Structure 1
Amino acid sequence: MPSRRDVIRQLALGAPLVLLAPACRPLRPRGAPVGGMRADLVIAGGGLGGCAAALAACANGLRVILTEETDWIGGQLTAQAVPPDENRWIETIGGTASYRALREAVRARYRRDYPLTAHARTIARLNPGSGWVSRLCADPRTWLAELEALLAPQEAVGTLHILRRHRVVAADVQGDRVRALRARSLETGRDVVLEAPCFADATELGDLLPLTGTEYMVGAESRAQTGEPHAKDAPEPDNVQGFTVCVAMDWRPREDHTIARPAQYDRWRAQRMRSDEVAGAPLLSFDDPDSRPIGFDPVARKGFWSYRRIVDRDLFTPGSAGGAFDQDCTIVNWIQNDYAWGSLTDGTAADAAQHLEAARQLSLSLLYWLQVECPRPDGGQGWRGLRLRPDVVGTADGLAKAPYIREGRRILAEATVLEQHVTLEGRMADTGASQEAARAYPWPDSVGIGHYSMDLHVSTRGDRGRYGDTLPFQIPLGALLPRRMENLLPACKNLGVTHLTNGCYRLHPIEWNVGEAVGHLVAVARRHGTTPRAVRHTPALLADYQRQLVTGGIPLAWPDPLPPG
């Protein structure tokens, strides 16, 4: 492995980041008991992309093995406890048919199993939490139940095998192909070798890329590398968006649920905002210019309290379920607990563990500050009735099972989505079109659609901001194909995007679309006895693949004109 200094030097010279070697360790160490399994497709990572890839592959008759480090599949929606960030057309045309079906299944479960009021049951586009970050803010456990229900039939007939609480720790690579992965049980320590003709990386950080020696980029590129107007003067491989350990909490007036003072509370109480634009503002406060007009008030049920709220008490029958829904419940995923003081990518295991614990301490410190020190509108301090909800996130401490990762490793792809492809300003400059006529770059090899602002949370170098309005865009097949590796595909946020365009390609429905497209791609390649790369470069195969996507409910282009959102 090259040293971190060598890697930074490579990038400073404009060279691609290439990490090799660990993949070549023997998968069957001498004397170690190792089992084996084989499938048509092995997927590492059971988040949204991994689940969608598995469903699509199984629907095409493939046998699939899916690994997941936690005991909850679903990633952002479940183990990370992040209500979906979506585009304003998501209810009708803004995602794949299967993603919209998942959303409707969640609503149907609420109507069937939850004590909604008579009025709430009549709301066609029910939003159980009335959160304003999304049109469907729901309990992570409900998302989990519907995802499990989707996958259960395939598990029952044996076409899908899910290895929960397993982490991929090594890979066997020969030339430009992955031959097998070795996954380790986090409970027993036992290893299992997973063999397949094709593999997908749906991990949150792109874990398979260094393990397999697949070329990738991490951090911020330079303008010389991408030509992006807002790219850096020089590459910054250590500059990634912060991650967040989410917290679930409710409000119990006249009760005291103050937690023990967190071990790192003094550190975070004294910490100033990481972002240069608000340098000097306390982190544990609402003094940030973006936060001040929002505020926080669980009594008036305003501001950040309702931002990612997953239970709106007004939608539930009072006194039902032992009063479980008599008070709101919300998810804490705010700028105040975005951790930007280190990365989980490409450091040592000890570094990652240290940063993860610090992020957990930050979230607990924010809660403690809200309970005991936060200024109240009535002039008092703190809301001691704020209560952790471990049951909502399935943990003992009330913190999400896994951190919400916004940015990890990204493949060096055949096609890389740049700022110029998706921003209004960039397209107007490239095409000479007016603001009204400007459209995102039309990818002929489109495998889906998406839209979100190019929104980058505070980064490890203190950057934060939006870099121009984005246009409804497409997902190119070329962004799913590594430049060299033939049988490893990205199925999460690790596709061919840049540090900047990751900001608009990292959201829930887009990750689902990427995974679903990968599942279909592997099936088409297997059916024709060829490689995923050949599908893109053979017109008849590409046409066949795109027809299959459309038939499967995956739109390849946005309608023009767009309907109201």
Structure 2
Amino acid sequence: MQHIHSDIVIVGGSTGGCAAALAAARMGKRVVLTEEAAWIGGQLTSQAVPPDEHHWIEHHGCTRSYRAYREHVRSYYRQFFPLRESEKLKPLLNPGNAMVSRISHEPRAAYAVLKAMLAPYEHSGRLTVITGVVPVAAETDGDNVRAVTVRRLADGERLVLTAPYFLDATDCGDLLPLTGTEYTTGAESVKETGEPHAMQGAADPMDMQAITHCFAIDYIEGEDHTIARPKDYDFWRQYQADFWPEKQLSWYSPKPRTLEKVEYALFPRDGLFSLWNYRRVIDKNLFEPGTFQSDITIVNWPQNDYWLGPVIDVSPEERQKHLEQAKQLSLSLLYWMQTEAPRPDDKQGYPGLRLRGDVMGTEDGLAQMAYIRESRRIKAEFTVVEQHLSPEIRGEQGAVRYEDSVGIGYYHIDLHPSTGGRNYIDVASLPFHIPLGSLLPIRMNNLLPACKNIGTTHITNGCYRLHPVEWNIGEASGALAAYCLDRGISPRSVRNDKAELADFQKLLTKHGVELAWP
């Protein structure tokens, strides 16, 4: 059994995990970063979710390193792709021209950029990246983690990782149960949190947001790229949830904000919302003719949200069942679109839709990992609740400005249908801050969250889970661990000592982390 020692072990190569590694390595620390998938990057790469961002993102509202990531993506396409001359000159190039993002781009481009950003630290030996491994055990001594064991998926070999600090940057908060760290899952009750949109009645720890197994497609008119009929197609073809206005495999779903029935279109027509343009990652018209046969779009739509059961805190068999069913739903959606979907010309199906596994780096054509919207969440020194950022409650005061802010973010509270059979919860929020207290477990001393597993609730997770916020969380956690190693103090001491907190916030500011909204 191999043993690896470093200054900081980051388990989970998510978007937040990559940002944490970047921050810690930049501060001179030896870092080990592990990841289950073949690609690091999480929702940006292996889960294939184009960045969901706010409309101020080009000017403020994210960290300097996240903005650098975005500019590196633009440079990647400018340098290596035959863009039209008019597009090369655009400072805010958006490769996919998607509705959802000002910089929609391919998952494999995201992976290339993240690898390049981390390359100086990997090449120098300061950062070790280990992919294809999962955490399976941990050793603790009281309130401290001493070691984490990961298992290679390829051969079962185990690696024991030791360090003074451990960061959980997995999308499900996998280190929390292994280390005995106190955490919560699912939906809290109004009685617990006082949040206007929390559960009426008892809390439900198994009521979690839907997962989605994304995939990429293009469209070649006149060709037939119909996949084999998925084994669960008959089930999904007839499935309709009680809270859904039509069968899930249809062009209809509830409008998230109002829950009224809304019709979508695949391609733009008649003023309907175009699913094709929604998460498009390549707009072929930006490139020289012949570069791309077609646009490429990511299918992360209402039609392939999977809510029939949670994948957290269930048996391995139950988890695998739901992950497989989520895949079957996505494949069934594609097959339905290729063979039976109604068209405006009164025909059925679009056989020219082509599954693009090369975009995902997979043989089955789907993303390497399911998109996980909601993680286990630490029981934290401080928990962000809806009252801190609700415009209905806060009004012109704006969101609560925490004295221990370690970053900022913005997105509306966006909860997808849940495993408890609840529909969308989509309500407004205010530009918010990230309190250091939400990164501190109530008991553990040297374990920090670096992903979607911070001290939020089921409700506030809905606005803290997006790409730039997760990046900021990871960057703050990586910097905090490095800062504590340099000072010989604990993360809790940083928050509790005004002078230390001020020095840490100065460090974050120096590295381009915005602590307050302008």
Unaligned runs of 5+ in 1: 1-33, 429-436, 560-565
Counterpart amino acid of 2:238?
A: A
Q: Which amino acid aligns with 2:208?
A: V
Displacement after TM superposition at 1:408 (Å):
1.6
Q: Residue in 1 aligned with 2:490?
A: 531
Alignment RMSD, CA only? 1.3
Specify the SS of the correspondent of 2:454: coil
Check the 8 A contact 1:245/1:402 in 2, yes or no: yes
Q: What is residue 239 of structure 2 aligned with on the other side?
A: 271
Report what 2:264 is aligned to.
294
Alignment partner of 1:297: what SS?
coil
- Asked whether the equivalents of residues 253 and 263 of structure 2 are also in contact (C-alpha less than 8 Å), the reply is no
1: CA distance, partners of 2:399 / 2:227 = 49
Deviations 1:257-315 (A, max 9, x none): 011110000000010036x2x3x511000122437343212799970011000111111
1:541 matched to 2:500: yes
- Give the whole-Å Cα distance in 2 for the aligned partners of 1:507 and 1:115: 31
Report how far residue 509 of structure 1 moved: 0.4
Structure 2 residue identity aligned to 1:445? D
Equivalent-residue separation in structure 2 for 1:463 and 1:412 (angstroms): 24
* Partner Cα distance (1:211, 1:151) in 2: 28
Give the superposition deviation at 1:554. Answer: 0.3
2:286 corresponds, among 279, 302, 315, to 315
- 1:404 corresponds to: 371
8 A contact 1:425–1:468 mirrored in 2: no
2:469 to 489, 510, 518: 510
- 2:206 is matched with 238
1:496 to 437, 455, 459: 455
Q: Percent identity?
A: 54
2:433 is aligned with 1:460: no
Q: Which among 275, 285, 299 is matched to residue 250 of structure 2?
A: 285
Task: Give yes or no for the alignment of 1:551 onto 2:516.
Answer: no
- Could you say if the C-alpha distance between residues 170 and 289 of structure 1 is closer, same or farther in structure 2, counting changes exceeding 3 Å? closer
Task: Tell me the equivalent position of 1:425.
Answer: 392
Match 1:483 to one of 442, 445, 448:
442
Pair 361,237 (structure 1): closer, same or farther in 2 beyond 3 Å: same
* Separation in 2, partners of 1:224, 1:298: 45
Q: Distance in 1 between matches of 2:324 and 2:185?
A: 22
Scaled by the length of structure 2, the TM-score of the pair is 0.97
Superposition map of 1:333-352 within 5 A: 333-352=300-319
- Secondary structure at the residue paired with 1:110? helix
Deviation of residue 427 (structure 1)? Answer: 1.4
Deviation, 1:462, is 2.2
Are the counterparts in 1 of residues 41 and 111 from structure 2 also a CA contact under 8 Å? yes
Q: Could you tell me which amino acid in structure 2 is paired with residue 140 of structure 1?
A: P
CA distance in 1: counterparts of 2:288 and 2:241, whole angstroms: 41
CA distance in 2, matches of 1:288, 1:484: 43
Q: Which residue of 1 aligns with 2:258?
A: none
CA shift digits 1:104-159 (9 cap, x unpaired): 00001101101211111111111111111100110111111110001111011111
How far apart are the structure 2 equivalents of 1:66 and 1:87? Answer: 29
Question: Matched residue of 1:288: which SS?
Answer: strand
SS of 2:262's partner is: coil
Q: What are the Cα deviations for residues 337-370 of structure 1, in whole angstroms up to 9, with x where unaligned? A: 0000011100000001100000000000000000
Q: Does 1:255 align with 2:226?
A: no
Report the equivalent of 1:353. 320
**Matched letter for residue 250 of structure 2:** S
Residues in 2 aligned to 1:230 and 1:302: alpha-carbon distance in whole angstroms: 27
Moved more, 119-128 or 169-178: 119-128
Counterpart check, 1:212 vs 2:212: no
Measure, in 1, the Cα distance between the counterparts of 2:76 and 2:372.
28
Q: Distance in 1 between matches of 2:422 and 2:513?
A: 35
Aligned to 1:201: 168
Tell me, in whole angstroms, the C-alpha distance in 1 between the residues paired with 2:96 and 2:373.
Answer: 23
For residues 169-208 of structure 1, what are the structure 2 equivalents within 5 Å? Answer: 169-208=136-175
Structure 1 residue identity aligned to 2:249: L
Structure 1: distance between partners of 2:422 and 2:406: 31
Distance in 1 between the 2:397 and 2:75 partners? 38
| Paired AA for residue 195 in structure 2 | E
Name the CA distance, whole Å, in 1 between partners of 2:337 and 2:241.
Answer: 17
Which residue of 431, 442, 445 maps to 2:404?
Answer: 445
The answer to whether the 8 A contact 2:252-2:264 is kept is no
- In structure 2, what is the Cα distance between the partners aligned to 1:83 and 1:381? 29
Superposed, 1:156-171 pairs within 5 Å as 156-171=123-138
* Equivalent runs, 1:109-128 vs 2, <5 Å: 109-128=76-95
Shifted more, 416-425 versus 118-127: the winner is 118-127
Give distance in 1, aligned partners of 2:344 and 2:35: 44
Change in CA separation of 1:299 and 1:439 when aligned onto 2, cut-off 3 Å: closer
The gaps in structure 2 that reach 5 residues or longer are 256-260
Name the aligned partner's letter for residue 202 of structure 1.
A
**Could you tell me whether the CA contact under 8 Å between 1:453 and 1:466 is conserved in 2?**
no
Letter in 1 for 2:182: E
Is the aligned partner of 1:383 residue 2:350? yes
- Do structure 1's residue 62 and structure 2's residue 33 form an aligned pair? no
The CA distance in 2 between the partners of 1:513 and 1:287, in whole Å, is: 35
Checking the alignment, whether the CA contact within 8 Å between 1:88 and 1:94 is kept in structure 2 is no
Q: Which runs of 4+ in 1 moved over 6 A?
A: 298-302
